[in-house]
Amino acid sequence: MAQAKKKRRRNRNDPDRAEKAAQRAEALRRDREEKAAAAAAAERRAAIGKRIRSLLVPALVGIGVIAAGYLVFKPAPEVDDVQQPPAIESTIEVLAAGETFDYGTPTPTNGPYRDGDATCGVSTEPVALEDAVAALRVGAVVLWHQEGDTTTAAALAALAGEYESHVVVSPNPDITDTVVATSWNRLLAYDTPGDGVAEFLDTYRDRGDQNGDCPIG
């Protein structure tokens, strides 16, 4: 029988073996470096994300507060060129039945008012200023027209008929403008009854000193 061939042992100093060992070590080193770099990148992304969230949440809360505040305190709309007469100073707030007051203007927008329920509607006789202010106080719009101007009176009466409440139409012997529209602390004169009076009504009805009924009788 032939003698079995002896397995050749590779010399520890074999260049091929040393090179392969070096390649394995290099591969392991690169793998460790890549894993370390990936872990560091993930840690940086997590830190950045956390920082963004810490800044974003307060910002969103702040925006929400600002938006809510704007909705709550949003300024009411105004008509162009509307006047805001100053408050009429008086030690009297409520007038007794039959009591009068000198407002210093034929078209007051605030001041002492007549006690009792306000009445709105179209009148062919001049409405007492004290009653007009009482209507303004609960959110009515008073439309004054020149006494004897039947055309304007008819147009304003037709306009008032489009609303269920909070509109007063009355002649006023002391005005020179065709129409003077008044609401609580607001006033605007018009050359014609169709020249934006409806806009004044839509803007200032129900914007009195307090809420209250004023049905059109």
Instruction: Give a yes or no: residue 217 inside a domain.
Output: no
| Structural domains in the chain (count) | 2
Could you give the CA distance from residue 83 to residue 63 in angstroms, rounded to a whole number? 34
Assess contact for 111 and 147: CB atoms under 8 A.
no
Share of the chain above pLDDT 70, in %: 84
Nearest one of 140, 101, 105 to 123, comparing CA atoms: 140
Specify if 134 maps to a domain.
yes
Same domain, 59 and 113: no
Residue 99, classed as helix, strand or coil, is coil
Q: Where are the beta strands (DSSP E) in 28-166?
A: 94-95, 113-114, 121-122, 141-146
Does the pLDDT value for residue 94 go beyond 70?
yes
Alpha-carbon torsion angle 120, 81, 109, 150, nearest 10: -40
Each residue's pLDDT tens digit, 111-157: 999 998 899 999 999 999 999 999 999 999 999 999 999 999 999 99
By CB atoms closer than 10 A (0-12, 13-18, 19+), residue 198 is: middle
Is residue 184, in this structure, part of any structural domain at all?
A: yes
Q: What is the mean pLDDT of residues 80-96?
A: 95
Please check whether residue 95 is in contact with residue 112, taking contact to mean a CB–CB distance below 8 angstroms.
Answer: yes
What confidence tier does 31 reach under pLDDT thresholds 50, 70, 90? confident
User: Which residues constitute the domain of residue 173?
Assistant: 94-204
Q: Please identify, among 22, 42, 74, the residue that sits at the C-terminal boundary of a domain.
A: 74
Q: Do 155 and 57 fall into the same domain?
A: no
Which of the two residues, 87 and 51, has the higher pLDDT score? 87
